[in-house]
Amino acid sequence: MSANPRPGLRQQLLDARSRLPATQRVAAAEALADHLPTWSPWRHSGSDSAPVYLAGYWAVRGEMSLHCVIARGGGEFIYCLPCIEPGSRLSFAPWRMGDAVEANRFGIPEPTLEATSRLAPEALSVVLVPLLGFDRRGNRLGSGAGYYDRSFAFRQRPAVRSPLLVGIGYAAQELPSIDASDWDVPLDAVVTEQGMIDCASARASLPT
């Protein structure tokens, strides 16, 4: 039986991301905020009667910052941050810059809202998903803990189209292909500093 190559690949990608210069990170975050709203499904993810709940993340270990996305959002969406729940799953709490946070077990800040004020994954409109690597079919290599795959497993059902799952990363994190596991939930799109990749269309057009 061959060894699982994912742990070594994750470390390589993490090391490469950590070496990106600060100026490149800032420029990438600004470009991200330019590209993201141009994607048609993003613009029409909500409705006149329902708020758009956009879930992001608190950037750590060199992840692309979302501060420009938040700053330019205005009243277009309600921004949410993930919170760890029992069973290694996620809920999402509305959050604005300046609201109180506290570190979770991994040292990542979470909003201090009571559990009853948090949203289930099904209530979200769009989820910006951090990643270490991705391919154009929407396969994602994350940290390995599986929180997003467990929380959005319902998106594997063919009839379920919401929320939109949008990977966020640097163009250099693109890989030729990633061998997906049965429990991996594919991304609808990926946005990098170079633009949007429509993964759903790519899955339909690329050879299997």
Per residue in 129-167, pLDDT (tens digit) is 999 999 999 999 988 889 999 999 999 888 888 899 999
- The pLDDT value recorded for residue 1 is 37
Q: Is residue 11 part of a domain?
A: yes
The better pLDDT of the pair 77, 81 is held by 81
Per residue in 83-98, pLDDT (tens digit) is 999 999 999 999 999 9
List CB contacts of 85: < 8 A, sequence separation 6 or more.
91, 115
The better pLDDT of the pair 196, 37 is held by 196
Model confidence at 51, pLDDT cuts 50, 70, 90, reads: confident
Residue 207, pLDDT above cutoff 80 = no
Closest to 18 in 3D by CA, of 56, 59, 55? 59
| Interatomic CA distance for residues 147 and 132, integer angstroms | 14
Q: Is residue 92 part of a domain?
A: yes
Q: Is residue 1 part of a domain?
A: no
Residue pair 95/78 in contact by the 8 Å Cβ criterion: no
- Percentage of the chain surpassing pLDDT 90? 69
Q: Is residue 154 part of a domain?
A: yes
Q: What is the CATH number of the domain that holds 185?
A: 3.40.50.10420
Domains: count for the chain: 1
Residue pair 46/52 in contact by the 8 Å Cβ criterion: yes
Model confidence at 75, pLDDT cuts 50, 70, 90, reads: confident
- Domain of residue 61 covers 6-205
User: Following CA atoms 193, 198, 200, 205 in sequence, which dihedral angle do they give, to the nearest 10 degrees?
Assistant: -120
Q: Is residue 10 part of a domain?
A: yes
Q: Is residue 142 part of a domain?
A: yes
